Chain A
Amino acid sequence: MVFSSLLFLFLFLPTVFFFYFLSPKKWRNGILFLSSLIFYGWGEPVYIGIMLFSTFFDYGNGLLLEKWEKNPRKKRAVLLLSLVVNLGILGFFKYTGFFVQTINDLFSLTIRIHPLPLPLGISFYTFQTLSYTIDVYRGKVKAQHHLVNFGTYVAMFPQLVAGPIVRYADIAKEMTRRQETWVLFGQGVQQFLLGLGKKVLLANNVGLLWDTVKALPMDNMTVLSAWLGILAFTFQIYFDFSGYSDMAIGLGKMFGFHFMKNFDLPYTARSITEFWSRWHISLSTWFKEYVYIPLGGNKQGKWKQYRNIFIVWMLTGFWHGANWNFILWGLYYAFFLVLEKAFFRKKVERGPRWLGHGYTMLVVIVGWVLFEHEDLNRCLQFLGAMVGAKGTGLADSSGLYQLLNYGGILVFCGFCATSACTRLKERYFQEGSGVMQIFFLGLLALIFFFSTAYIVKDTYNPFLYFRF
């Protein structure tokens, strides 16, 4: 199931609210768990088994770690087992194809494997259960004794399929003791609706432009078309991902949970280092806690730090997709991060705004080109087109048409990605006078209405000639 569907918004969600809020508190986790199973099983009726296995497995591991608290050897064995099995499952489903392909390419073999569909959310929930076992091992958090509570943590539908990656330590308390209030619910609604709008009204719309440009034959790719296209993708991925995170966090609030922010206006960053403290925060936090710091972080000198950054970012890239371009994308960022740490981060962050901002956005946009092209050959061609090296010209009528078509939308997207937009929302709408608040409510209602309209339209399928 997806959040931006009629089924979820108008059938699933009200039903869950009905049962959840009319039940006594001690049943609520159970109801959340059950609805989450339905939510997940709806899209993944068979592979739900893997998610359940992962849950039982690490629930058991947590208990064992607690039991053998004083036995470092046994504890390490359990941790190792958890790591191997969890990463093994992830590797098997997500990366087998990639490994086989690489071996084929390296040794000129033609091993064929039956491609397996990727279980929904596996990259997210394996990381979540791993954060649990590692934190119990470290003694940072106590093991959860109630299976349902633990299951709720893993499977909770707000964040199961697309994050944010919630560390068990962060919500352990709220799992058993939380307070659902009208105000919190309302705040959640506001965040949810804004996230819905970001995804359905902004991301999906501007994504159409990228689809059109992506499909252009390289001979027709002018500078204008290439830039319009990648700019569209730059907005699409941000609003899609942050919109989904907003919906997840908003839903969490509705049920009394406080999830951490996952995006913090990343496109206002003035250095790549700053960018990564604002983009997909839960992922970079996970990698910092469980890979960077265990590797020594920045506590073992400059060169070890640079090495650690490269390792972490290679893994970050690889986490995003089972292909070489993703690994390169990760290394690309590692390169800039190290460069900044070594030379010019302070200069660029304290310099004029436009310098830091321009530099960061340029690096990020070029990064997205790498991210979106699994075919590295085409990737280079696209980059060439962006700088006019392909000789296709500055602009053609197709590009000018798209500029006319999407110009307004792109400008509006730009505005929504800035802090001015957030300030407008927080200072004037949410904390403003009665009139402003009513205006804001009206705006939210419009967003809700039009998001529904767009979701309906996606299923609209008129036939010119009647189908017998």
Chain B
Amino acid sequence: MKWKESHSWSALLFLAGTFLALAACLLGPDREFSPQENRSLEQRPVLSLEGVFSGIYMKDFEKYVSDQFPLRDFFVHAQAASQRWMGKQENNGVYFGKDGNLFQRFSGVERKEIESKAKAIASLAEHGSGAKVYLMLVPSAGAVLSEQLPPFVSFDAERQAVQDLANQTKETAVFVDPYAALEEHRQEEIYYRTDHHWTTLGAYYGWQELARRMQLSPQILENYIPKIVSDHFYGSLYSQSGYPFVEPDQIRLFHHREEKPITVSFSEGKKRRNTLYELENLEKKDQYTVFLGGNDSFLRVDTGSLAPRKLLILKDSFANCFVPFLTRDFKTIDLVDLRYYNEDISQRMKREGYTDILVLYSAKTFFEEKTPGKMAW
């Protein structure tokens, strides 16, 4: 062994590295769930003859090895950091914005898809049993805070799609565009830095615009008492980009000065609680699920309000921090997430006799997901 030469050392270090990793793989315990990736991890597959012949056993085994690889999250962070260092402006669909802000990409939408969604809205209005349909699409953070984006990136395509949809639903729904309201307050914390959602403050400004169009009782910001429930929120974009060098976000709940007791029933009516917030979820990685406890297919809120109106919201998670602002003006609020809801929505509308229907989505999800099309069933 010539220890003066790099060759021998290379050999030794390589063998050490691979054998160390082998030992760590074999001896380390298997994890079941990854909070960072928000999914369950592959477990050791069962060996079977047909599994081997079809090749499925091998594929599952490789998934198992990667999912259980030691220091997995650390390597993901290292990769993301290296992307930044080599001059990349994005990683895994997330832009590295200025001041350590992360922005989710908008992938674009075809004209056909916009038309199809407009038709779905029309169908909703038709089967709404007389209820008025309000359509509100929340712009992506990148569309509002454009000065923080990397150079040459624009969300014009998203704005264009929203405007096209507004044109195509002129007759069937009231189109509420919170863009101007959010833009006016762009210097405030209206979007999270590490998560794709809008903050509670951003939701408030969006609500103000809706309140105007929907004739809800006006409020002022001072009527709400903000409560910081977390100052170490590392959100979805932190996970998606893998980029570790970001400041965490704060999550605020806005409690109205004259808050009334409410009842929330969920899991198909099997469970109840008396608050819109699931504070236990602040212990988990995805702290945004403090709002409504996450995404359920159907949720009913009995607000205790004396107002005669009944609201149906077809939504994605952007509505979760928005709902608390609506409790004063509706007797009941029903929340439907079409990703998981499989009943025919027109049946429900016939049964319940809603006075108002609100379609509240982020623009990105509304255009990119297929499930909002279920409105047309």
Contact = CB atoms under 8 A, between A and B. Distances in A.
Contacts of A441: 6, 9-10, 13
A42 interface: yes
A430 interface: yes
A192 to B, nearest CB: 8
A466 B286 contact: yes
A190 B79 contact: no
Given A453-B79, A457-B80, 15 more contacts: A5-B62, A10-B21, A185-B11, A186-B11, A397-B152, A404-B150, A404-B151, A405-B89, A434-B4, A445-B13, A448-B17, A452-B75, A453-B82, A462-B236, A467-B38
B229 interface: no
A339 B181 CA distance: 67
Nearest to A439: B6
Contacts of B80: 457
Summarize A's interface: helix, strand, loop or mixed. helix
A450 B78 contact: yes
Given A11-B25, A457-B79, A462 B6 contact: no
Interface residues of A, number: 63
A13 interface: yes
Interface in B206-237: 236
11 contacts: A6-B65, A11-B25, A45-B55, A185-B11, A400-B151, A404-B89, A405-B89, A405-B90, A460-B76, A466-B294, A468-B340
A460 B75 CA distance: 10
A15 interface: yes
Interface string B8-31: 111101110111011001000000
Given A189-B10, A408-B87, A461-B39, A400 B5 contact: no
A450 B38 CA distance: 24
Interface stretch (B66-74, B169-177, B301-309): B66-74
B36 interface: yes
Among B14, B61, B150, max chain A CB count under 10 A is at B14
B88 interface: yes
B317 A11 contact: no
A106 interface: no
A13 to B, nearest CB: 6
A346 B354 CA distance: 85
A466 B67 contact: no
Given A15-B22, A45-B54, A462 B11 contact: no
A466 B296 CA distance: 11
B52 interface: yes
Given A456-B76, A456-B79, A189 B89 contact: no
B79 A186 contact: no
A17 interface: yes
B152 A398 contact: yes
Contacts of B63: 459
Nearest to B63: A459
A45 B56 CA distance: 10
Contacts of A464: 38, 196, 236, 240
A408 B86 contact: yes
A277 interface: no
A186 B76 CA distance: 29
Interface of B: 1-2, 4-11, 13-15, 17-19, 21-22, 25, 36-40, 52-55, 58, 61-63, 65-67, 69, 72, 75-76, 78-80, 82, 86-90, 92, 150-154, 196, 236, 239-240, 242, 286, 294-295, 317, 339-340
Given A401-B153, A405-B89, A441-B13, A460 B22 contact: no
Interface of A: 5-7, 9-11, 13-15, 17, 42-46, 182-183, 185-187, 189-190, 192-193, 205, 397-398, 400-401, 404-409, 412, 429-430, 434, 437-438, 440-441, 444-445, 448-450, 452-454, 456-457, 459-468
B37 A462 contact: yes
Contacts of A437: 5-6, 9
Contacts of A17: 15, 18
Contacts of B39: 461-463, 466-467
Given A434-B4, A450-B78, A45 B53 contact: yes
Nearest to B88: A405
Given A190-B10, A405-B88, A459-B63, A466 B38 contact: yes
Contacts of A465: 38, 295, 317, 339
A11 B1 contact: no
A193 B10 CA distance: 10
Nearest to B339: A465
Contacts of B79: 450, 453-454, 456-457
Nearest to B82: A450
B150 A401 contact: yes
Given A45-B54, A466-B39, A448 B14 contact: yes
A454 B242 CA distance: 12
Which residue, of A44, A441, A456, has the highest number of chain B Cβ atoms within 10 A?
A456
A449 B78 contact: yes
A15 B21 CA distance: 12
Contacts of A440: 6
Most buried by B among A14, A17, A407: A14
Nearest to A17: B15
Nearest to A9: B18
B279 to A, nearest CB: 18
B15 A456 contact: no
Contacts of B1: 182
A253 B63 CA distance: 30
A466 B35 CA distance: 10
A404 B1 CA distance: 47
Contacts of B340: 468
B7 A6 contact: no
B240 A404 contact: no
